Amino acid sequence: MGVIAPVHVWPFFYSDAASRISFNLLKELTMNTKPIRILLMLLTLLTALAVNSHAEQGGYKGYPRGHALITAQELKQLMDRRDPKLVVLAAENSIEYRLGHIPGSYQVDRPDIEAPPETQSGVTGNLINSDGFTKLVQRFGINRDSIVVLYDTKYDATRLWWAFTYYGKGEVRVLDGGVKAWRIAGYPVDLLAPSVPARSGNFVAKVSLPSFRVDTPEIITAHSSKAQIWDNRDIKEFTGEELKKGAYRTGRIPGSSHSDWVLFKKKDNQAEWLGAADLQTLLNRLGYDRSREQYFYCQSGVRSTQALFALYLAGWPLEKLHNYDSSWIGWSKDSSLPIVAGLPTSPVVAQAGR
């Protein structure tokens, strides 16, 4: 009796493969083929259908790029195995970090990755250059092949993820649920910071995705294209009712739409991400268009990485995702640039209450 070779197909061919196998199976049944052959074909069919179902559902939480997230349980397993490639970074301020951090994690506060204002035309909060980023992460022993896990309390982890991605580091994952999820799982926290590794890492930062970081000229150009510009600040900042420290004027960039960063997270944990289905519903409601270039801004390019990361999880093309690094601080500082305020008359304004 001949042996049936297993069917190997790429994910987007699974449905077609299953259909072909079903047809062949029916044909074999009508020809009274030996039962063992029919059984083997049936098992192949079921396998193809199962894999097809998994492909349609995507990865973690249904996301095509769900691997960019990691659960507290998965992280604990890596730590228990003492994986030599693992480096955990806490994107937290000193108070958050000292109140209890994941054992072995190194603190990277926001100022640690900020460029000196005098190198950025006076704009504060912009990303440090590749040399500065290299020195920072090598200090924590990060190598080219390291598995880097980032966590936070709200939104700083994605700013750090964005920086790593911009500078060419793969295998960087964000802890879904942040330190809160870690605590809920019953895992311990430390109060004292760990010693930095005796040996520096060998990762060297180099801009690998230039369009991932844009500045004011690109935003001006985006106005004359069909690009979408998203304001990921709070609603009061968007309408001009509130001015946060560091900005120079109230209001927003003309033509931008509101898309509050909190909308992408769970209500009961601002470090936990929505599932893919809920995210897609949200994107549809807000009017996100996958075919268009996407530009994001907030006060200083931090909260804006929440929206950018959400679209990355959902499988949107990286080359169409752009974080405006100077954001509102940079735009409002230039008095020659126009601003608008108040509620927009046409687009949907998505408020935090959902």
Nearest to 26 by CA among 3, 10, 45: 45
Domain membership of residue 1 (yes or no) is no
Domain membership of residue 306 (yes or no) is yes
Fill in the amino acid letter for 334: D
State the pairing for strand pair 172-175/213-214.
Answer: unpaired
In the chain, % helix, strand, coil (3-state, to 5) comes to 40, 15, 45
Q: Are residues 120 and 205 in the same domain?
A: yes
Residue 42, CA distances (Å) to 9, 25, 75, 109, 213 in order? 17, 7, 38, 56, 51
Q: Are residues 230 and 287 in the same domain?
A: yes
Residue pair 238/245 in contact by the 8 Å Cβ criterion: no
Q: Are residues 306 and 220 in the same domain?
A: yes
Q: Are residues 111 and 191 in the same domain?
A: yes
Domain membership of residue 154 (yes or no) is yes
In degrees to the nearest 10, what's the CA dihedral of 137, 138, 142, 144? Answer: 110
CATH number of the domain where residue 118 is located: 3.40.250.10
Domain end among 22, 38, 57: 57
pLDDT at 344: 86
Number of neighbouring beta carbons within 10 Å of residue 114? 16
Domain membership of residue 227 (yes or no) is yes
Q: Output the CA angle 16-19-21, nearest 5 degrees.
A: 110
Q: Are residues 264 and 295 in the same domain?
A: yes
Q: Are residues 252 and 310 in the same domain?
A: yes
* Whole-prediction pTM: 0.82
pLDDT at 49: 39
| Total tally of structural domains belonging to the chain | 3
Nearest to 205 by CA among 152, 174, 169: 169
Q: Are residues 84 and 142 in the same domain?
A: yes
Q: Are residues 148 and 94 in the same domain?
A: yes
Domain membership of residue 327 (yes or no) is yes
Question: What are 228-284's pLDDT values in tens digits?
Answer: 999 999 999 999 999 999 999 999 999 999 999 999 999 999 999 999 999 999 999
Domain end among 188, 209, 230: 209
Domain membership of residue 77 (yes or no) is yes
Secondary structure (DSSP) of 89-127: EE---HHHHHT-B-TTPEE--GGGGBPPGGGTTT-SSPB
Going by C-beta distance under 8 Å and a sequence separation of 6 or more, which residues neighbour residue 132? 113, 115
Domain end among 176, 209, 242: 209
Secondary structure (DSSP) of 169-223: --SEEEETTHHHHHHHTT---BSSPPPPPSS--------S-GGGEE-HHHHHHHH
Print pLDDT tens along the chain (354 aa). 443 333 333 333 233 333 333 334 334 434 444 555 545 445 444 443 333 333 335 799 999 999 999 999 999 999 999 999 999 999 999 999 999 999 999 999 999 999 999 999 999 999 999 999 999 999 999 999 999 999 999 999 999 999 999 999 999 999 999 999 999 999 999 999 999 999 999 999 999 999 999 999 999 999 888 999 999 999 999 999 999 999 999 999 999 999 999 999 999 999 999 999 999 999 999 999 999 999 999 999 999 999 999 999 999 999 999 999 999 999 999 999 999 999 987 555 544 444
Tell me the residue range of the domain where 16 lies: 11-57
Q: Are residues 37 and 80 in the same domain?
A: no
Domain membership of residue 2 (yes or no) is no
Domain membership of residue 348 (yes or no) is no
Question: What are 104-136's pLDDT values in tens digits?
Answer: 999 999 999 999 999 999 999 999 999 999 999
Q: Are residues 122 and 226 in the same domain?
A: no
Fill in the amino acid letter for 6: P
Q: Are residues 187 and 263 in the same domain?
A: no
Q: Output the CA angle 9-13-16, nearest 5 degrees.
A: 115
Q: Are residues 221 and 297 in the same domain?
A: yes
